[in-house]
Amino acid sequence: MKIGLALLVAAVLVLHHDIWNWKDASLVFGFLPVGLAYHVGYSLLASGTMAILVKFAWPKNLDDDDEVAA
Amino acid sequence: MIPALIVFAYLAVVLYIGIFAFRKGSTGSGEDFFVASRRLGPMVFLLSIFGTNMTAVAILGSSGFAYQRGIGVYALMASSSGIVIPLTLWLIGTRLWSLGKKHGHITQVQFLRDRWESGGIGTFIAIVTALMLVPYIIIGVMGGGSTLETISGGQVPYAIGGAIVAITVVAYVFFGGMRGTAWVNTFQTVLFLAFGVTAFTLIAKSVGGFPATMQAISEGPQSFLLTRERMPAEEFFSYMFIPLSAVMFPHIAIMCMTAEKVTHFKRTVVLYPICILLIWLPSVYLGVVASKVIPGLSPSEANDVIIRLLSQNTSPILAGVLGAGIMACVMASDSQILALSTVFTEDLFAYYGGRKKFGPKAEVWAGRTFIVLIGIVSYVIALALKEKANIFELAIRFAFSGFAALAPVMLAALFWKRSTKWGALAATVWVVGCVFANWHLTNISDAMAPKPPRRPAASAMRGGGAPGGPVAPQAGSTGAQSGSAPQVIGGPTPAPSGLQVTQGGSPEGMRPAGPGAGGPGGPGGPGGKKKPPTAVRIFPQLGDMFLRGPVNVTIFGFLPVFPMVVGSALLMLLVSLVTPPPSKATIDKYFSK
């Protein structure tokens, strides 16, 4: 599981470098440059990745600290 | 004067929020003053930590930068931060919160001191981080003074404007401490978000719809703005390292201690990229749109391009609201002032005997005294060195890399048992050395820096003579109305590098063109046909090792932050391996489940 999540994070970081869009000036929906549209999607992907990490890789011992503090 | 009055009303609201509105839960203890008794709720925690990180650069700087360099700015600075900052908050922030709660730490230095079993290394890191934070505070006061001066049409002089902003910030930080600061930041973040949506809607209407504008850009000479073809890949890669600085900033690290529950981080790290998207997407997009609507601005003029765009549509009331939004941007120095005061109080005053001698109650008053002193000193410097703001802007750029390069020290302290204080010391010395080396190289290469070409179109535009341009300046008009809108400076995001390597014409010292070389009209901005400036070899005998662009120095094309982070990590690793490990007691304390 841990290795899978580490690979997911690594893949997301690599996906930031979308070299295939570097010189593409086409417009998505007629108004959004494809390079910008990709990174809007990337921001959503980042949020999704963090949701996955929170769900599957949240350090449980910190939650215990939370309960002790409460 | 209406916009200035609205800005004053905004300052009064901020003062009320900071001082009075949320003091009910105050206990008067040091923990309450510096970290709000670790009781911030999930939404305030999210919005305040996000607002602390977002300043003038997010709205004004990003649109000005996009005006010159195109849509790539979003990927360069926003989407990279949208993944790296939440990752660091998840990895580092949550651990700092947990250790802080367990061991009573308020600052990251308190943790590092204990973890490295060394007061000296903690003091060294405290001083280094404090020094790197100072320029931000000075720039904040300067930005406040110049913004108020412009918004009031010169009726509030720079010195008075700076004083009003400094007094407002110092007052609510002095009385409200972390709780007041967090609530003010929350209010300001809501204002940022409203600003983005309002600007987007108004401008879409005025330019006759975005599809037509984008189509025109894609068919014109500025079509490169819709791509990253003139953005060097090395620079793009380097920018991924800059957001590592976020959690190393004292004000962000301290803010991590304020969450009531560690579960508050869950919502924060998931929503953080969305918040960045909501603020940066309109700003970057509008910057590109402006390249068509208001072509020919110089880089410094482009800084206020979003205000120029809005100036075509704003009534005085809206201009005032806009001004309040700008003030929200430049007043982000509140959490930095509080953090600096916390560092002085907790890491120096209390640690070196103040707590023992004067008791815990004295800590709050020491903190408040430091807040006032920091405010006064910053104001005096802002007044005396008004014309030298660029020095502080430069210092901020260097400090950003410095904070980012300290991240390996924190990661090692939290996750690597074998890491030692000597490794931490070596890495910190390396960071300090690199910051000074960067400063030195920038200084000595200033004379050879490629100069941006003059752009006659810009001066024509300043007069408001071209169609679609800003409204011509009028006596007594506000900055937002006049097209000479305030240039906001400062903010915890590094200024764009401006480095564009392109075909060198000089036989010696010029780097030859390569893939990805070339500038986006670079310092000339869009609309121009002149070739962008070249990067110059600082030491021709060393080849491309040290290149000087119009703004800064690169190492083999990479921004200094990249080798700084790698060097810091390597030193941490190697020096730790050859020095004695920490005691078993310390390892048990910090690594037992």
Residue by residue, what is the 3-state secondary structure of A4-62? HHHHHHHHHHHHCCCHHHCCCCCEECCCEEHHHHHHHHHHHHHHHHHHHHHHHCCCHHH
Helical spans, DSSP H, in B21-118: 30-35, 42-53, 56, 62-69, 72-73, 80-88, 94-103, 108-116
Q: How far is CA B340 from CA A34, B234, B370, B372, B436, in A?
A: 43, 34, 8, 11, 21
Crossing angle for the helix pair B389-405 and B119-151, to the nearest 10 degrees: 140
Min distance B17 CA to chain A CA atoms (Å): 28
Does A53 or A69 have the greater pLDDT score? Answer: A53
Helical spans, DSSP H, in B418-478: 421-444, 456-462
Min distance A1 CA to chain B CA atoms (Å): 17
Q: What is the pLDDT of residue B100?
A: 93
Q: How far is CA B322 from CA B114, B371, B539, in A?
A: 46, 29, 46
For B276, the closest chain A residue by CA position comes to: A43
- With vertex at residue B479, the alpha carbon angle to CA B476 and CA B483, rounded to the nearest 5 degrees, is 105
Chain B interface includes A47 (CB < 8 A): yes
Indicate yes or no: CB of A43 within 8 angstroms of CB of B82.
yes
Chain B interface includes A9 (CB < 8 A): yes
Chain B interface includes A10 (CB < 8 A): no
Indicate yes or no: CB of A31 within 8 angstroms of CB of B72.
no
CA A6 to chain centroid:
12
CB B78 within 8 A of CB B280: yes
B546-564 pLDDT, tens per residue? 999 877 899 999 999 999 9
Nearest in space to B97 (alpha carbons), one of B229, B233, B247? B247
Residue B72 has its nearest CB partner, among A35, A43, A70, at A35
* Residue numbers in A near B79 (CB within 8 A): 16, 39, 42-43, 46
Chain B interface includes A13 (CB < 8 A): yes
For A54, the closest chain B residue by CA position comes to: B266
How many contacts does A have with B, using Cβ atoms within 8 A? 130
* Residue numbers in B near A54 (CB within 8 A): 90, 266, 269-270
Residue B86 has its nearest CB partner, among A46, A65, A70, at A46
* Residue numbers in B near A23 (CB within 8 A): 227-229
Q: Which token pair is B352? A: 């070196």
Q: Which token pair is A20? A: 């295939």
Residue B277 has its nearest CB partner, among A9, A23, A40, at A40
DSSP code at position B37? G
CB B503 within 8 A of CB B531: yes
For B104, the closest chain A residue by CA position comes to: A69
Q: Which residues span the domain enclosing B330?
A: 2-388
Residue B79 has its nearest CB partner, among A23, A42, A51, at A42
Q: What is the pLDDT of residue A55?
A: 95
* Residue numbers in B near A32 (CB within 8 A): 214
Min distance B97 CA to chain A CA atoms (Å): 9
CB B121 within 8 A of CB B409: no
Q: Is position B497 within any domain?
A: no
Q: Is position B441 within any domain?
A: no
Indicate yes or no: CB of A35 within 8 angstroms of CB of B226.
yes
* Residue numbers in B near A24 (CB within 8 A): 227
10 Å CB burial of residue B456 (0-12, 13-18, 19+) is exposed
Q: Which token pair is B195? A: 């600003």
Give the 3-state secondary structure of B385-418. CHHHHHHHHHHHHHHHHHHHHCHHHHHHHHHCCC
Q: CATH code at B252?
A: 1.20.1730.10
Q: Which token pair is B381? A: 């410097």
Indicate yes or no: CB of A61 within 8 angstroms of CB of B237.
no
Q: How far is CA B228 from CA A17, A34, B70, B133, B467, in A?
A: 11, 11, 7, 32, 28
DSSP code at position B25? T
Which of B84, B218, B223, B226 is most worth mutating to test chain A (most A CB atoms within 10 A of its CB)?
A: B226
Which of B262, B284, B590 is most worth mutating to test chain A (most A CB atoms within 10 A of its CB)?
A: B262
In angstroms, the CA B107 to CA B591 distance is 19
Phi, psi of B471 (to 5 degrees): -65, 140
Indicate yes or no: CB of B98 within 8 angstroms of CB of A54.
no
Which of A9, A14, A16 is most worth mutating to test chain B (most B CB atoms within 10 A of its CB)?
A: A16
Q: What is the pLDDT of residue B501?
A: 35
Q: Is position B93 within any domain?
A: yes
Half-sphere CA count of B81, side-chain side, radius 13 A: 25
CB B552 within 8 A of CB B535: no
CB B493 within 8 A of CB B77: yes
Nearest in space to B360 (alpha carbons), one of B349, B370, B369, B344? B349
Indicate yes or no: CB of A39 within 8 angstroms of CB of B79.
yes
* Residue numbers in A near B90 (CB within 8 A): 50, 53-54
CB B80 within 8 A of CB B404: no
Indicate yes or no: CB of A27 within 8 angstroms of CB of B226.
yes
Q: pLDDT digit of tens for each residue in chain B (593 aa)?
A: 777 788 889 899 999 998 887 666 677 788 889 999 998 999 999 999 998 887 666 667 788 889 989 999 999 999 999 999 999 999 999 999 999 999 999 999 999 999 999 999 999 999 999 999 888 888 888 878 877 887 777 888 989 988 998 999 999 999 999 999 999 999 988 887 787 777 777 777 777 788 888 999 999 888 999 999 888 899 899 999 999 999 999 999 999 999 999 999 999 999 999 999 998 998 899 899 989 888 888 877 777 777 777 766 666 677 677 777 777 777 778 899 999 999 999 999 999 998 888 887 888 999 999 999 999 999 999 898 887 777 777 777 788 899 999 999 999 999 999 999 999 999 999 999 999 999 999 989 988 888 655 444 433 333 333 333 322 333 333 333 333 333 333 333 444 443 333 333 333 333 433 333 333 333 334 444 444 456 889 999 999 899 998 778 999 999 999 999 999 999 999 999 999 999 999 999 998 76
In angstroms, the CA B400 to CA B397 distance is 5
Q: How many residues does chain B have?
A: 593
In angstroms, the CA B360 to CA B275 distance is 38
The sheet that has B546-548: what strands, in order across it?
B536-537, B546-548, B553-555
For A70, the closest chain B residue by CA position comes to: B261
Q: Position B311: which residue type?
A: S
Q: Is position B459 within any domain?
A: no
Phi, psi of B459 (to 5 degrees): -70, -35
Q: Is position B47 within any domain?
A: yes
Chain B interface includes A44 (CB < 8 A): yes
Q: How far is CA B308 from CA B168, B301, B315, B526, in A?
A: 28, 9, 13, 16
Q: What is the pLDDT of residue B152?
A: 79
DSSP B500-560: ------SSSSBPPP-TT-S-SSGGG-TT--SPPPPPEESSGGGTTSEEE-SS-EEETTB-T
Q: How many independent structural domains does chain B possess?
A: 1
Q: How many residues does chain A have?
A: 70
Pairing relationship of beta strands A27-28 and A32-33 according to DSSP bridges: antiparallel
Q: Is position B487 within any domain?
A: no
Pairing relationship of beta strands B553-555 and A32-33 according to DSSP bridges: unpaired
* Residue numbers in A near B271 (CB within 8 A): 47
Min distance B519 CA to chain A CA atoms (Å): 14
pLDDT cut 90: percent of chain A above it: 79
Q: Is position B483 within any domain?
A: no
As a dihedral over the C-alpha atoms of residue B248, residue B252, residue B255, residue B259, rounded to 10 degrees, the angle is -80
Q: What is the pLDDT of residue B131?
A: 92
DSSP B179-201: HHHHHHHHHHHHHHHHHHHHHHH
Which stretch of DSSP H or E encloses residue B268? helix B264-293
Q: What is the pLDDT of residue A62?
A: 78
Determine the straight-line distance between the first and last CA of chain A, rounded to whole angstroms.
30
Q: Is position B552 within any domain?
A: no
